[in-house]
Amino acid sequence: MAARVVTALLAAASAGAVILPPGAASAVPTPTPTAAQPESVVMVGVRVLPGQKKRYGIGQLVTLKFETPVTRRAAVEKAIKVTSDKELSAGSWAWVNDMTAVYRPKRFWPANARITFTLPLAGLVLGQDGTTRYVAEGRRDRKYMMRTTRSFVMNIEDKRHRMTVKKDGRTVKKFGVSLGKPGWETRSGIKILTDEKYKRLRMTGYDPGKKEHWDVIAPYSIRLTPTGEFIHGAPWAKHRIGKWDGSHGCTNMRVRDARWLYHHSQQGDPVITKSTGRPMQVTNGTPGSYWNYSWGEWKRMSATFRGKDKPSDPARAMTLPPPAIDAGP
């Protein structure tokens, strides 16, 4: 009997059990609790662009910029509601990098509309790194409203060297233009007028192929892309405007025509260029250049997309910075 008790005690000890002397009360000591790791919270600012103080053309896109990378992207998208007093086409968020989301409808916004973004992001956890949580700052939900004005679309056909301006679907002007010459072809695709407008703009540059310098004053200039593409008056090119291409990528116009466009156009108005043989880059002219993604490509860049071909890191390979100089007068 004693041998069996000793054997049992040894077996219990080897299993890590608490061994009590004969007759002692059966009890299990309470384990000492371990101190939990302290958790830190980082409040993250969120900016909504563009500003709300003015109206925009029907091609203007809305951008969210976060101060830190967001890992809970689907939670952000699902929290936001987009409504309008006019009928909207389908729309989708796309993450162009881990700190920037852009909302784009399938088609241009309706004219003369109020588009409201309800942003219940205050306090939303955007991500966690170890014991650090990243939380959107703010104490209450935000609302952002973007108002569009009339529909004003500029269609440029390079083969005919013509620009046709349509206001609310009706043709109001036709202008002669001259686009980029061989080696400096203007990019085809959708571009959006920026808020950069100059009555007189000095343009300088250099063509290394032909060792050609330029230094001109371009009247009534409106920027299209960050790489130097403008629509502007070109008094030095009046002999070729409406006839043949000779610029370094910009859309050249007669001065009186450029003046009219300068005074009647505004930020967000679409410019659709065709038949140049050189495609638009989705990284050139952001956010307007994002119209050049197909609708299918755009939806796949959403964190809530559930299709088969969702990329592992949406648009990362497509957001490399464009070349510093891409166009000239």
Q: Quote the CA–CA distance of 92 and 302 in Å, as a whole number.
A: 7
Give start and end residues of each alpha helix (H) in the chain: 2-14, 73-79, 255-264, 295-300
Mean pLDDT calculated for residue range 34-50 = 83
Check pLDDT > 70 for residue 157.
yes
Mean pLDDT calculated for residue range 137-144 = 89
Specify the pLDDT at position 34: 55
The answer to whether 80 touches 91, Cβ cutoff 8 Å, is no
Mean per-residue pLDDT of the chain = 86
Q: Among 13-27, 69-83, 152-166, 169-183, whose mean pLDDT is lowest?
A: 13-27
Q: Among 16-20, 44-48, 52-56, 185-189, whose mean pLDDT is lowest?
A: 16-20
DSSP symbol at 257: H
Closest among 98, 91, 144 to 121, alpha carbons compared = 144
Place of tokens 């880059």: 281
In this structure, the strands spanning 91-97 and 100-105 are antiparallel
State how far the alpha carbon of 196 is from the alpha carbons of 220, 221, 260, 265, in Å: 11, 8, 16, 12
Closest among 259, 260, 216 to 236, alpha carbons compared = 216
Check pLDDT > 90 for residue 62.
yes
Amino acid at residue number 277: G
Structure pTM?
Answer: 0.82
Amino acid at residue number 211: K
The answer to whether 138 touches 123, Cβ cutoff 8 Å, is yes
Name the token pair of 70.
């967001």
More confident position, 84 or 204? 84
The answer to whether 63 touches 93, Cβ cutoff 8 Å, is no
The answer to whether 178 touches 252, Cβ cutoff 8 Å, is yes
